Amino acid sequence: MTSEFAVAVHGLVYLNKKKTTISSEELASNVCTNPARIRKVMAKLKKAGMIETKEGLEGGYHFIKDPAQVNLKQVCDALEVTFVSSSWKSGDENMPCMISSGMSGVMDDIYGELNELCRIRMEKITIKDIQEKLVKSRQSS
């Protein structure tokens, strides 16, 4: 999983709270990253119809959806996120050993199942839920 997901969720919660157009610089400052990274992530969220952009001096990003209707699976889909995967595979499919030749396929199946379970769980968490958690944690501090 890439950090784009955290940037996107943080950005959407911040935009929802502000309820106005926010520049990539201000958003980057709040997320603690750089404006170019914000623009890259926000472009994907715009393509998914979650935010709108405004050009010019007073330009930036604006969250346009109901935060109770935007779940984290939708954010994942917009970013094409894979939660569980492996860039390295053990074994060799061409070896005569049953374990060496079959391990990568078995592990890929396990990763696929875990990824799907993550996606199912993310569908149950909304931007509103995250904002409410932040408010509750702030009140208990």
Count: domains in the chain:
1
Q: What is the pTM of this model?
A: 0.86
Domain extent at residue 73: 4-139
- Looking up residue 31, the CATH number of its domain turns out to be 1.10.10.10
Contacts of 21 (CB under 8 A, 6+ apart): 54, 58, 59, 60, 61, 62
Tell me the per-residue pLDDT of 36-61, one tens digit each, with 9 for 90 and over: 999 999 999 999 999 999 998 889 99
CA distance 43 to 31: 16
Tell me the per-residue pLDDT of 63-86, one tens digit each, with 9 for 90 and over: 999 999 999 999 999 999 888 888
C-alpha gyration radius of the chain: 19
